[in-house]
Amino acid sequence: MPYDEALERFEPVLGLETHVELGTASKMFCACPTTFGAPPNTHVCPVCLALPGALPTANATAIESTIRIGLALNCSIAEWCRFARKNYFYPDMPKNYQISQYDEPLCFDGYLDVEVDGRTVRIEIERVHLEEDTGKSTHMGGATGRIHGADYSIVDYNRAGIPLVEIVTKPIPGTDRLAPEVARAYVTELREVMRSLGVSDVRMEEGSMRCDVNVSLMPRGASEWGTRTETKNVNSLRSVERSVRSEIERQAGILAAGGRIVQETRHFHEDTGTTTSGRSKEEAQDYRYFPEPDLVPIAPDFAWVAALKTALPELPRLKRKRLQQEWGVSGLDMEAMHNADAIDLVEATVSAGAPPADARKWWMGELARRANEAGVPLSALRITPDEIARVCAMVAGGALNDKLARQVLEGVLNGEGSPDDVVAARGLQIVNDEGELSAIIDQVLADNADAADKVRSGKIAAVGALVGGVMKASRGKADAGRARELILDKLGVSG
């Protein structure tokens, strides 16, 4: 059913479970490294391979990072809690269980405020808990590379045991037609909180941040929520938004036709933007959780937690509010910079001495256009905030105009060196030599006698064509304002 029609008849309720791999040097319960992309089974030891007799010990930094995440999300921190075994039969964990947390999460009852369409939406956080990541299975044989139809699987345990934080929201009603945007804004904000804390590199494309999206629908005016589905495999911010939209459309179609939603896991496909059915949850999972006997309880010292809270960095949303005031821009301009991932770049450019308006103009204009053309994020452009600030300074000092500045940026992006190098190599200085400018003007006046006569006879507006001629003749290097003054002088009229 088309989205608009679906929203006329039904109200969506969202829920998001986000997994974040912590950026610790070593794994959660052993001293193996956690770096991404190593050859298979080179980051393994008796603990993460579950060899007999091996015992886990919790990583102090992972505990601290999880508490900091909880504090940044306005959570209460447990005074005492335990790890738990989640038992399941699957070869991605060699122990046949995952060490996780069950009814005693380290952090609980928080919230995260996000901005959507100019208004603030508060997302309630149910819990933040700590667990270990699983190994990576590759399914061999069969046509699809998927588990169904595969002949066998091969497993790499490098990822098994990397600290993984799971952040679970409470159900989010009331988002109405903005549900897809709210979901995306939440994951975006969460990613920035993680970045500001420095606890994870949060790269969705490498899987260090992963999202499961729950969606249910209820008829308008109903008070009881519908059956939800859980969509996995949602590995980009755009996919978060698309998967919510697609699942709303799919569920609305079924409900409107008198069908019923099956509570199940679904998989999102980037190529089609739709979800397909995975494991049915009708047969409830039986994980037989129990307290992990190999690890002692966590009882964070109250004073330590208070000190961690005091030492939290300025959180992204508050920082944006501050910068918005300092820069004197509108909320929507700020949201646009946020969505373009430009705020840190603009801030760094301002720190390097550029006026905020100029820094924003270049990053959100010329550079955003080029990044868009190349299909890369702004931060991937081969130009630094310092270089942008230098170009701004040259424009402010009269050495460049905007047109020349764009050529300088192009040169820097092409790897021709610093802005000063590009100016020197391409000869991009504004013509400040009055003699040279005067000679160019004389030539332009001679070539455009008609326009010159019009100006002489008082039609000052015609001077524009002459200034344009000077700019063209100087290949953009003339100072247009000064050229106008000189032309009017030479023609004996006062501007």
**DSSP code for 363:** I
The answer to whether 287 and 51 have CB atoms below 8 angstroms apart is no
- Under rule CB under 8 A, residue 450 binds another protein: no
Q: How far apart are CB 78 and another protein at their closest, in Å?
A: 12
Q: Which stretch binds another protein (CB under 8 A): 27-35, 405-413, 449-457, 458-466?
A: 27-35
Figure out which of the listed residues 293, 397, 458, 492 binds another protein, where binding follows CB under 8 A. 293
Quick check: 25 binds another protein (CB under 8 A)?
yes
**Cβ distance 235 to 207 under 8 Å?**
yes
In the bound state with another protein, the residue whose beta carbon lies nearer, of 253 and 278, is 278
As given in the structure block, the two tokens for residue 464 are 């524009």
- 460-489: contacts with another protein (CB under 8 A): none
- The window from 137-145, 169-177, 178-186, 325-333 that contacts another protein (CB under 8 A) reads 137-145
In the complex, minimum distance from the CB of residue 50 to another protein, in angstroms, rounded to a whole number: 11
As a whole number of angstroms, the distance between CA 313 and CA 186 comes to 19
Apex 395 CA angle, 390 and 397, nearest 5: 90
- Is 263 near another protein (CB under 8 A)? no
Binding region for another protein (CB under 8 A) out of 133-141, 213-221, 332-340, 438-446: 133-141
The three state secondary structure string of 337-353 is HHHCCCHHHHHHHHHCC
Question: CB–CB of 70/47 below 8 Å?
Answer: no
Closest to another protein by CB, 88 or 225: 88
145-184: which residues touch another protein (CB under 8 A)?
147, 150-157
Burial class (CB in 10 A: 0-12, 13-18, 19+), 261: middle
Q: Minimal distance in Å, beta carbon 13 to another protein?
A: 25
For residue 50, state whether it binds another protein (rule: CB under 8 A): no
Considering the complex, what minimum distance in angstroms separates the CB of residue 74 from another protein?
24
Beta bridge partners of 129: 166
> Using the rule CB under 8 A, is 95 a contact of another protein?
no
The residues, any chain, with a CB within 8 Å of residue 36's CB and separated by 6 or more, are 206, 208
Strands (DSSP E) along 334-425, which ranges?
A: none
Tell me whether strands 163-169 and 97-100 are parallel, antiparallel or unpaired. unpaired
Strand partners, 21: 164
Question: Considering the complex, what minimum distance in angstroms separates the CB of residue 429 from another protein?
Answer: 53
Alpha helices in 311-379 (DSSP H): 316-327, 331-339, 343-351, 356-362, 368-374
Does 198 interact with another protein (rule: CB under 8 A)? no
Does 43 bind another protein (CB under 8 A)? Our answer is yes
Beta-sheet pairing, 209-219 with 229-234: antiparallel
Helix (H, G, I), strand (E, B) or coil at 66: helix
Task: Assess 39 for contact with another protein (CB under 8 A).
Answer: yes
**From 203, 238, 288, 369, residue interacting with another protein (rule: CB under 8 A):** 288
32 binds another protein (CB under 8 A): yes
Q: How far apart are CA 326 and CA 261, in angstroms?
A: 50
The residues near 101 (Cβ < 8 Å, ≥ 6 apart) are 81, 82, 83, 84, 129, 130, 131
Query: How far apart are the C-alpha atoms of 491 and 488, rounded to whole Å?
Result: 5
Q: In which residue are the tokens 């739709």 written?
A: 274
Neighbours of 369 (CB within 10 A): 10
Site residue total, another protein (CB under 8 A): 61
* Residue in 9, 203, 238, 279 binding another protein, rule: CB under 8 A: 279
Q: Please pick, from the candidates 140, 222, 306, 425, the single residue that binds another protein as defined by CB under 8 A.
A: 140
Q: Amino acid identity, residue 376?
A: V
Burial class (CB in 10 A: 0-12, 13-18, 19+), 301: exposed
Smallest separation (angstroms) from another protein to the CB of 158:
10
Residue from 74, 137, 227, 418 in contact with another protein (CB under 8 A): 137
Residues ≥6 apart with Cβ < 8 Å to 131: 28, 86, 98, 99, 100, 101, 163, 164, 165, 166
Among the listed ranges 34-42, 70-78, 369-377, 450-458, the one in contact with another protein (CB under 8 A) is 34-42
Choose the stretch contacting another protein; rule: CB under 8 A; options: 5-13, 59-67, 216-224, 396-404.
59-67
Residue 36 binds another protein (CB under 8 A): no
User: How far apart are CB 167 and another protein at their closest, in Å?
Assistant: 21
For the chain, the C-alpha Rg in angstroms (whole number) is 30
| CB distance 246 to 1 below 8 Å | no
Q: Which stretch binds another protein (CB under 8 A): 54-62, 204-212, 235-243, 395-403?
A: 54-62
Which residue number, 174 or 297, has a Cβ lying nearer to another protein?
A: 297
Examine residue 318 and tell whether it contacts another protein (CB under 8 A): no
Token digits of residue 20: 């974040």
User: Residue 236 or residue 265: which is nearer to another protein going by CB?
Assistant: 265
| Nearest to another protein of 62, 487 (CB atom) | 62
265 binds another protein (CB under 8 A): yes
Please tell me whether residue 278 binds another protein under the rule CB under 8 A. Answer: yes
CB 168 → another protein: shortest distance, Å?
20
Q: Which residues of this protein are in contact with another protein, per CB under 8 A?
A: 24-26, 30-33, 39-46, 48-49, 51, 57-63, 80, 82, 87, 89-92, 134, 137-138, 140, 147, 150-157, 265, 267, 278-279, 286, 288, 291-293, 295-301
